[in-house]
């Protein structure tokens, strides 16, 4: 039997160890300035949505569970974001903060996953517990983002998603393990073990879409927790499979896709940063429908009104987006509405917004929204299939008596290459945290690299 799997894509023979070598040998001084800046923005965005998400029901449930677990040692303690004391084990703090960061569909996204809600809670907890500084934290975050995103690309994310996998839960443990391993100064062998232990925990099923269950919120928290635990176990000598990505029997890449290409994981690693393609969310819903929100809001502005009864509303979806978001709409949970293309387009056309106020029980059940959402027509679009999820495109049409009003977006307004990316992200952060978040904002964006992470954690508790 061959040592490494074969398939339609290339599979380097020492893929796991090569990745571990890059992680463990990474020099913070090799981090380009544009990547460093991108990670400051990612940290700001994720902390903002994570603090905002602490009050959601699912976050409070996770917090209650975590505080009922084993108490931390003095050298293994981290903080729930927004609180004043480090009262949880590092892995459990990562778990709670990961759920909070994904609590209301406001966290960043690219390549069919949410890197910020996994990597940043894991990296923050490890950096706090190990007394690292801001510069070290940003490097660890960059390593985790890059590992997680490249794994999704190597898997062939559309194929893995159509098998029913939520890639945040699948690739997240390895992204978190990569960040945690670097921040714990693990050597190459221990880092390979941590990647192996992270990969064997990779999971996350899209079954939450059937009834809007809380499990989607669980996935990034669990992935962050799993990655931290993997690094901590590896540090203690618990071995993980060092060929977990490429072995013929039971490899990570083979398990989730028939057309994985492991070479994409290493191609340009350290010189071409895929994390630069990460998008932020100006809308509190599934990232795959953001371009549709933009298009629908633009149509509302053109018409000066919402669609009238009897006017056709048509939208084109890529196959993966149709499977994921094209289901018939009926009032249920907020997640069920946040994942629904029909619902999000409807409220964008009616309200000109797709924000938390659009996901109250009253609005989700209101007759005007339900009527419009239920009559939106969905059609397939090969053009969208060809470019998704490298881009997140979408279009909407409203057929009026005077003709068809159509809006197409190649990427959403929160896309990484949007000219308003920085301004939009800042505006979102300010809307979430207001005046109380300004000192924290300045610290994350402007503080020197030597700033202790613990001082940032303390600033997060300021009211």
Averaged confidence pLDDT in the chain: 95
In the prediction, which pLDDT does 6 show? 47
d(CA 185, CA 175): 16
> Going by DSSP bridges, is the β-strand pair 394-400/312-317 parallel, antiparallel, or unpaired?
antiparallel
Residue 71: pLDDT band with limits 50, 70, 90: confident
Q: What is the pLDDT of residues 389-429, one digit of tens each?
A: 999 999 999 999 999 999 999 999 999 999 999 999 999 99
d(CA 175, CA 190): 15
Percent of the chain topping pLDDT 70: 97
Percent of the chain topping pLDDT 90: 94
In the prediction, which pLDDT does 462 show? 81
User: At a CB cut-off of 8 Å and minimum separation 6, what does 37 contact?
Assistant: none
Q: Which of 120, 131, 126, 127 is CA-nearest to residue 40? A: 120
Residue 448: pLDDT band with limits 50, 70, 90: very high
Q: What is the pLDDT of residues 119-131, one digit of tens each?
A: 999 999 999 999 9
Q: What is the pLDDT of residues 234-293, one digit of tens each?
A: 999 999 999 999 999 999 999 999 999 999 999 999 999 999 999 999 999 999 999 999
Residue 73: pLDDT band with limits 50, 70, 90: confident
Q: Is the pLDDT of residue 70 over 70?
A: no
The domain made up of 15-277 has a fold known as 2-methylcitrate dehydratase PrpD (1.10.4100)
Residue 12: pLDDT band with limits 50, 70, 90: confident
Q: Is the pLDDT of residue 5 over 70?
A: no
Mean pLDDT of 343-352: 98
30-55 as b/e: b if 16+ CB within 10 A: ebeeebeebbbbbbbbbbbbbbbbbe
Q: What is the pLDDT of residues 354-396, one digit of tens each?
A: 999 999 999 999 999 999 999 999 999 999 999 999 999 999 9
In the prediction, which pLDDT does 2 show? 44
Rg of the chain, C-alpha, whole Å: 22
- Where are the domains positioned within the chain? 15-277, 287-409
Q: What is the pLDDT of residues 91-121, one digit of tens each?
A: 999 999 999 999 999 999 999 999 999 999 9
Q: Hey, what are 180's tokens?
A: 């945690």
In the prediction, which pLDDT does 68 show? 79
64-98 as b/e: b if 16+ CB within 10 A: eebeeeeebeeebbbbbbbbeebbbbbbbbbbbbb
Q: pTM of the full predicted structure?
A: 0.95
d(CA 428, CA 431): 5
Q: Is the pLDDT of residue 1 over 60?
A: no
**371 to each of 250, 309, 315, 342, 368, how far by Cα in Å?**
48, 9, 16, 10, 5
Q: Which CATH number is associated with domain 287-409?
A: 3.30.1330.120
Q: What is the pLDDT of residues 40-56, one digit of tens each?
A: 999 999 999 999 999 99
Mean pLDDT of 333-344: 97
Q: Hey, what are 302's tokens?
A: 């053109």
Q: Hey, what are 376's tokens?
A: 């939106």
Q: What is the pLDDT of residues 191-233, one digit of tens each?
A: 999 999 999 999 999 999 999 999 999 999 999 999 999 999 9
d(CA 193, CA 153): 22
**Do 90 and 228 touch, CB atoms closer than 8 A?**
yes
d(CA 249, CA 253): 11
**Do 257 and 154 touch, CB atoms closer than 8 A?**
no
Q: What is the pLDDT of residues 283-331, one digit of tens each?
A: 999 999 999 999 999 999 999 999 999 999 999 999 999 999 999 999 9
Q: What is the DSSP letter of 406?
A: E
> What is the largest distance, in Å, between two alpha-carbon atoms of the chain?
71
Residue 460: pLDDT band with limits 50, 70, 90: very high
């Amino acid at each position: 039997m061959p040592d490494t799997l074969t398939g339609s894509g290339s599979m380097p023979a020492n893929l796991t160890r090569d990745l571990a070598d890059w992680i463990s040998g990474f020099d913070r001084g090799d981090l380009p300035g544009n990547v460093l800046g991108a990670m400051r923005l990612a940290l700001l965005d994720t902390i903002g949505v994570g603090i905002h998400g602490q009050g959601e029901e699912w976050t409070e449930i996770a917090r209650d569970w975590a505080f009922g677990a084993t108490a931390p040692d003095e050298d293994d303690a981290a903080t729930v974001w927004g609180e004043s004391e480090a009262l949880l084990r590092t892995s459990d703090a990562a778990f709670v903060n990961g759920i909070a960061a994904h609590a209301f569909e406001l966290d960043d996204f690219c390549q069919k996953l949410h890197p910020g809600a996994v990597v940043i809670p894991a990296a923050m907890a490890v950096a706090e517990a190990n007394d690292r500084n801001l510069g070290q934290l940003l490097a660890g975050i960059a390593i985790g983002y890059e590992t997680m995103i490249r794994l999704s690309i190597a898997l062939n994310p559309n194929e893995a998603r159509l098998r029913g996998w939520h890639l945040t839960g699948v690739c997240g443990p390895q992204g978190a393990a990569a960040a945690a391993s670097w921040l714990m100064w693990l050597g190459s062998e221990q880092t390979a073990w941590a990647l192996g232990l992270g990969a064997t925990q990779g999971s996350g099923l899209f079954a939450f879409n059937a009834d809007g269950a809380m499990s989607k919120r669980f996935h990034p928290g669990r992935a962050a927790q799993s990655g931290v635990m993997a690094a901590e176990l590896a540090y203690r000598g618990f071995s993980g499979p060092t060929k977990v990505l490429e072995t013929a029997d039971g490899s990570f890449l083979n398990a989730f896709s028939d057309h994985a290409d492991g070479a994409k994981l290493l191609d340009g690693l350290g010189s071409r940063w895929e994390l630069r393609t990460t998008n932020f969310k100006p809308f509190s819903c599934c990232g795959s429908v953001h371009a549709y929100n933009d298009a629908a809001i633009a149509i509302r502005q053109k018409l000066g009104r919402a669609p009238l009864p009897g006017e056709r509303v048509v939208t084109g979806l890529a196959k993966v987006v149709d499977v994921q978001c094209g289901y018939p709409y009926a009032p249920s949970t907020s997640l069920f509405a946040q994942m629904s293309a029909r619902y999000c387009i409807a409220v964008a056309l009616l309200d000109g917004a797709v924000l938390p106020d659009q996901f109250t029980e009253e609005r989700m059940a209101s007759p005007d929204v339900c009527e419009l959402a239920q009559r939106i027509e969905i059609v397939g679009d090969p053009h969208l299939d060809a470019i998704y999820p490298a881009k997140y495109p979408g279009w909407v049409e409203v057929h009026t008596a005077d003709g068809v009003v159509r809006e197409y977006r190649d990427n959403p307004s929160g896309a990484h290459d949007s000219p308003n990316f920085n301004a939009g992200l800042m505006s979102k952060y300010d809307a979430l945290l207001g005046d109380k978040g300004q000192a924290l904002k300045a610290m994350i964006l402007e503080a020197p690299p030597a700033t202790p992470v613990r001082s940032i954690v303390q600033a997060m508790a300021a009211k």
